[in-house]
Homo-oligomer: A and B are copies of this chain.
Amino acid sequence: MMHSKPSTPPRRSEATRKAILDAARERFATDGYDRATIRAIAKDASIDPSMVMRYYGNKEGLFAAAVAIDLRLPDPGSLTREDVGRALVTHFLSMWERNEVLTALLRVGVTNEAGAERMRGIFGDQLVPVARRMCPDPEQAPARAALVSAQLLGLALTRYVLRFPPAVDLAPEEVVAWLAPTVQRYLTAPYPA
């Protein structure tokens, strides 16, 4: 019947763990850290709140597990200096459209210092190397990465969090067509002033 796998006995609780994590991601994404109560998450996952504590320790642990994801930027080496803007915008857009983890991260980062720190870490660690490789003077990399972050996160903010209707209605190709030159310029143009 149950073809036993010698090494890893499939714990029956894996399904529950996943249900909790899915519910948590959705709640954090739509409600933010404070309003996403453990009780609500547990109810969404159809289990008792105490199970959340058993599997993830406490609310912070649950959040950490729920947003444990890296945004898998393409290898900086595979980007050409000519179309890095388009490539970055396309990648970010598909990333945000696909899963709600990033929305959760943004929403929490705004009200929770730990979330803000995580956000700083992700964008600093992932975007700065790209900037360092693309821009004229490596010393300017952090500033240029910050400008790119501002443009990309601003789009995410208006489109996925604040939901400005015109921002929501933009087709992905339109977003790319508008933002790609901006990102391109922030990374590769000579430093102004």
Chain A residues near B (Cβ < 8 Å): 31-32, 34-35, 106-107, 109-111, 116, 119-120, 123-124, 142-143, 145-147, 149-155, 157-159, 161-167, 169-170, 173-174, 177-178, 181-182, 185-186, 192-193
- CB-CB under 8 A for A150 and B167, given A107-B111, A110-B161, A110-B162: yes
Main secondary structure of the interface of A (DSSP, over half): helix
**Are A157 and B158 interface neighbours, CB within 8 A?**
no
Known interface pairs A110-B107, A178-B186, A182-B182. Does A149 touch B161 (Cβ–Cβ under 8 Å)? Answer: no
When distances are taken between beta carbons in the complex, the residues of chain B under 8 Å from A173 are 193
Residue ID in chain B nearest A167 by CB atoms: B146
CB distance from A23 to the nearest CB of B (A): 18
Q: Known contacts A111-B111, A173-B193, A193-B173: does B34 contact A147 (CB below 8 Å)?
A: no
User: How distant is A153 from chain B, measured CB to nearest CB, in Å?
Assistant: 5
What are 13 contact pairs spanning A and B, CB under 8 A?
A31-B111, A34-B34, A107-B111, A110-B110, A110-B111, A110-B157, A143-B166, A146-B164, A147-B167, A149-B158, A149-B167, A150-B159, A153-B158
Q: How far is the CB of A81 from chain B (nearest CB, A)?
A: 19
